[in-house]
Structure 1
Amino acid sequence: MTDNDLTLALAAATRTALDRRDGHDLIPSDDDLKLERPRNRDHGDWASNVAMRFAKRVGTNPRELAQEIAELLEAEPTVKKVDVAGPGFINITLDEAAAGELARTIVEANGVFGTTELLAGHNINLEFVSANPTGPIHLGGARWAAVGDSLARVLIAAGADVTREYYFNDHGAQIDRFAKSLLAAHLGEPAPEDGYGGAYIHEIAAAVAAEHADDLAAATDRAAQQECFRKHGVDRMFGEIKHKLEEFRVPFDVFFHEDSVHEDGSVTKAVARLGELGRTFEEDGALWLRSTEFGDDKDRVIIRSNGEPTYFAGDIGYYLNKRDRGFTECIYMLGADHHGYVGRMMAMAEAFGDVPGENMQILIGQMVNLVKDGEPVRMSKRAGNIVTLDDLVDAVGVDAARYALVRSSTNSTIDIDLDLLVSRSNDNPVYYVQYAHARTCAVARNAEAAGITTADFDPATLDHESENDLLGQLREFPRIVELAASERSPHRVARYLEDLAASYNRWYDRTRVIPQGDAQPEAVHSSRLMLNAAASQVLRSGLEMLGVHAPERM
């Protein structure tokens, strides 16, 4: 019996019980029928509070209604027993064959197990990283790269249509400072007081000077030279950023240039729309958004008194551009220094008539600290005053870097121990999970060599305590994916994989897929091989959601 089959059986039993009490017009929803895993496995495989949701509406107490639903459920051939606990919880225990059948379901699903339709119909724009092209990606950007891409994978697994978008900041003062820094490096001058340092500035300046010598020679003054470095330096830096993200297994569907919202009329259109809605006012020669009416701490200038749009006006134009492109949800992943920006962004969305937290969602990521030999890693040789994505990958590799950056909630600052992440020990979480997958592959190879196949699979033989525990963990995977998607928390997948790996290792230690000595294979060995394949598939699927390889040998 699959989880869906059990839900359908529970729905039928509930409707029958309600009909007997003249509740013909009461139709249990998916939320009413949601099954939960009991914390104590002695309480069964599944639990439901459906009786507590409907008892009052049909004039009875929850325990009495629960008992009636339980008796109807016990008639199901794959249900071993149903108990009523507490104020009206229904605890369901499946027979061994029904529980063990999950192993075959997972294997035959061939990677589809765990995917859901929870977010079907949701068209999501997911914007993350969006680092200014003025230097290498720092650790905060690296965290958003890993988390953002993993979140995209989880949302897609939950049925959403997701567009990964990078907002290319090529408009404003930071780009001017970058160009000034390149020119200064080219001329052998010290970096400007408000400019950028580090070896990478000299590398880019030298490359631009070599590749665009004719353009520089044609530049008649310092301003023209600076423009040359701005144009070619930004392109080169951004090209390097894109390349590093690709190496980090982070693809983007759209690279959106900040300049374009000013050039294509998006800002003008957005400001006009807000005016039509009565959300703007003029004061001191400037145009303001009435953002305090929507929860902001103060009203915001969007067009300065000199007629120039503010940075916030660009954000307004960009958001409307996204909505006009058909995205129902726009998720922004911002750094820890953007906390103060949330209020005005949510107010702007509401000013357009949208729902903050739904049409616009903002995630704030906290800091990342690197530790080596028990001491903080302070700076990068190339970037000068920051630690970069490259530094992390060079130290531990892509798999360990991605896993370490994703496995903690983005609401918390994380310390990454470089020594731990390169160790081959169970204390290293990515090694622990990857090794569990490699072990499943080794078991499969050894079984094949011993002539054992899954042809004699009999789910009823999977009755060992460790098998019940492993099956229970596997059954949780679709729920974890839904939870990670709905909460925008891909770290839940990583933590689940660690629990699954632990459950698999306990099973591996206590049972045998291959008979000992001269004993002949039996149905239980075929069944255990199927369970091994199911665990392998879920471990692989979960690692793929995190953008981490599932090695077959280690």
Structure 2
Amino acid sequence: MTVHHQLAAVLQEAVQTAQTAGALPSFDPPEITIERPRDASFGDYASPTPLKLARVARMAPIKIAQAIADHLPATDYIAEVTVAPPGFINIRLTNERLQQVLVDVLAEGEEYGRIHLGNGKKAQIECVSANPTGPIHIGRTRGGVMGDTLARAMRLAGYDVVLEYYYNDAGRQITMLGESTKIRYLQLLGQDVELGADHYKGDYIIDIARELQAAHVDALQNEPADYFGNYAKDKISQSQKETLRRINIVFDVYFNEQSLYENGRVWEALETLQQKGHVYEKDGAQWFKTTEFGDDKDRVLVKKTGEPTYRMPDIAYHWDKAQRGFDLVVDIFGPDHHATAPQVLMGVQALGYPTNFVRTVLHQIISIIKDGQEMKMSTRAGTFVALDDVLDEVGPDPIRYFMISRSGNSPIDFDLNLALERSDKNPVYYVQNAHVRCAGIFRKWAEAGGAPDADAEADLSLLTHENELAFMRKAMELSAVIEQMTLTSEPHHIAFYAYDLAAAFHPAYEKCRVLHDDVPEPLRLARLRFYWAAKQLFAHVLNLMGMSTPEVM
């Protein structure tokens, strides 16, 4: 149970006790809100609940707050409760409760912050889903990092999570890929053929054509474009997996769109929609009555040529998700899915499934900035910024951090120069340097002959410096952050938390010395314990973000 929930339960009990005592009138138990006050001088936690109860209780909020405060049950972790206008209840925890956080961090390790929100529940997160028509560019990376980070948090929240990649390996884009590769192959053979406006023009197509020429010389010139498309698709797909692995993203499932055609699920979904009366024919095309589900106009599912639009296989895919029994599905898409994602869910609803188990997360675009200039991206034109190239330049950690450094609703300017800067201006350096500083303390301790377990029985009650306590307060919040990420599917909260944790740590490191000669031995041992816990917590948080834990920088 998080501290927020503990305090909410205590205030709930106080309300009921006050009602029994006649200090508050009778009303249904309220939902208690617990938050961190903006000004730390007010306390560690605060509740504005009395403000919400004024109407139902027909009392001034300040009087409601005082009645609740007067009837709080005794606990061993609340040091002080005060009431502040216009009706806030401020709560300060005991030092002992804060110091217990260090014990918990060291005892629980990578389990610290675990909550039981999703125990017994299955979840699926779909992200990236870049077409296998070219290398993954940096613009596609944001959804992948968001999804992988969310999966890590949800597993700590108790969910059985499947991270899934949906390959759009069917349709016109694969036809264009095959034609592009064959044309490049024929050009290498000296034939006078040219790419069309819709063909893929990246150098990676030439590289694939060269591989085919090296292996087969001119024996493939009469092969259909499908042969080249399948070869290129498989080659690119494997490359994409290797690239994602470089950024510490490994999917549990790779789901191919083509399989929906091979097993007939696309046409089964269409037939079911027809049988249920949700599809009609017009001008030779099959139209979905999306207006019955709130859309502004009906949508084409199958063109008059017999070719499905992108909606049809997407509906079949989400129908498959519904039948796999997930309690929660999180779809993480780019801004180009803003209009289409609701139409797909309309299809699932029309097929007879509720759609409240699907949560759609749309993220905004990424701009790559280098030397003050934005770099343009287009996969088809071959002018994209490949993820591999950015990885070669800055490494995976800055990419992972910056991709979740803002809410998905906000665009991101990824400044490559800042990502390489080794100063506190770079948030990646700022967070990781906290772990490095802890490692440095224990390296020096070992070099001085200090025993590795000298602090095992340290007296943590000696840790009363305001900066030490501030770090402990922030350390206590991790479980609440995990809960917030899980409930909202917003992974940026862990990046914010990591930065705030580092901001609480660095002043403690500067002011709460441990190895200086003038530090009393009992306090030295207590602070060694403090820094062990800090090192473990930073390693844990960095791992939740899929980042490394450097010992030196």
Same fold (TM > 0.5): yes
Provide the secondary structure at the position in 2 that maps to 1:120. coil
TM-aligned CA deviation for residue 128 of structure 1: 1.2
Aligned to 1:485: 486
TM-aligned CA deviation for residue 432 of structure 1: 1.1
TM-aligned CA deviation for residue 303 of structure 1: 3.3
1:387-411 Cα deviation digits (max 9, x unpaired): 1101111110111222222212222
The 5 Å alignment of 1:125-140 reads 125-140=124-139
CA gap 1:366/1:98 in 2 versus in 1, 3 angstroms: closer
2 CA distance for matches of 1:354 and 1:61? 47
Find out whether 1:339 has 2:338 as its counterpart.
yes
TM-aligned CA deviation for residue 310 of structure 1: 3.0
Provide the secondary structure at the position in 2 that maps to 1:366. coil
Contact residue 98 and residue 459 of structure 1 kept, 8 A: no
Contact residue 435 and residue 551 of structure 2 kept, 8 A: yes
CA gap 1:410/1:212 in 2 versus in 1, 3 angstroms: farther
The 5 Å alignment of 1:82-481 reads 82-188=81-187, 189-211=193-215, 217=219, 222=222, 224-305=223-304, 307-354=306-353, 358-378=356-376, 384-447=382-445, 449-451=449-451, 453-481=454-482
2 CA distance for matches of 1:36 and 1:42? 14
Identity of aligned residues (%): 36
1 CA distance for matches of 2:104 and 2:354? 40
TM-aligned CA deviation for residue 273 of structure 1: 3.2
TM-aligned CA deviation for residue 305 of structure 1: 4.1
TM-aligned CA deviation for residue 203 of structure 1: 0.9
2 CA distance for matches of 1:148 and 1:2? 24
Provide the secondary structure at the position in 1 that maps to 2:325. coil
Aligned to 2:521: 521
My pick for the range that moved more, 505-514 or 97-106, is 97-106
2 CA distance for matches of 1:380 and 1:423? 28
Q: Return 5+ residue gaps in structure 2 as ranges.
A: 188-192
Contact residue 8 and residue 32 of structure 2 kept, 8 A: yes
2 CA distance for matches of 1:82 and 1:298? 57
TM-aligned CA deviation for residue 12 of structure 1: 4.0
Contact residue 368 and residue 413 of structure 1 kept, 8 A: yes
**1:289 is aligned with what amino acid?**
F
**1:314 is aligned with what amino acid?**
P
2 CA distance for matches of 1:170 and 1:156? 29
CA gap 1:211/1:273 in 2 versus in 1, 3 angstroms: same
**1:468 is aligned with what amino acid?**
L
Aligned to 1:497: 498
CA gap 1:542/1:463 in 2 versus in 1, 3 angstroms: same
TM-aligned CA deviation for residue 354 of structure 1: 4.7
1:480-533 Cα deviation digits (max 9, x unpaired): 22222222221221121111111100111111223424x5402x3333223222
1:148-184 Cα deviation digits (max 9, x unpaired): 2112212222222221111111211111111111111
**1:458 is aligned with what amino acid?**
D
2 CA distance for matches of 1:2 and 1:339? 35
Contact residue 366 and residue 412 of structure 1 kept, 8 A: yes
Provide the secondary structure at the position in 1 that maps to 2:110. coil
Q: Return 5+ residue gaps in structure 1 as ranges.
A: none
1:208-229 Cα deviation digits (max 9, x unpaired): 333456xx73x6x74x342321
Contact residue 177 and residue 194 of structure 1 kept, 8 A: yes
CA gap 1:24/1:162 in 2 versus in 1, 3 angstroms: farther
Provide the secondary structure at the position in 1 that maps to 2:339. helix
Contact residue 380 and residue 391 of structure 1 kept, 8 A: no
RMSD over aligned Cα atoms: 3.0
Contact residue 74 and residue 81 of structure 1 kept, 8 A: no
Provide the secondary structure at the position in 2 that maps to 1:376. strand
Contact residue 154 and residue 545 of structure 1 kept, 8 A: yes
2 CA distance for matches of 1:553 and 1:34? 42
2 CA distance for matches of 1:510 and 1:472? 17
TM-aligned CA deviation for residue 339 of structure 1: 2.6
Contact residue 370 and residue 415 of structure 2 kept, 8 A: yes
2 CA distance for matches of 1:210 and 1:45? 68
Provide the secondary structure at the position in 1 that maps to 2:46. strand
TM-aligned CA deviation for residue 299 of structure 1: 0.5
2 CA distance for matches of 1:444 and 1:192? 62
CA gap 1:342/1:260 in 2 versus in 1, 3 angstroms: same
Aligned to 2:68: 69
Aligned to 2:190: none
1 CA distance for matches of 2:89 and 2:460? 25
TM-aligned CA deviation for residue 472 of structure 1: 1.7
Provide the secondary structure at the position in 2 that maps to 1:134. coil
TM-aligned CA deviation for residue 28 of structure 1: 5.1
CA gap 1:420/1:308 in 2 versus in 1, 3 angstroms: closer
Report the TM-score, using the length of structure 2 for normalisation: 0.89
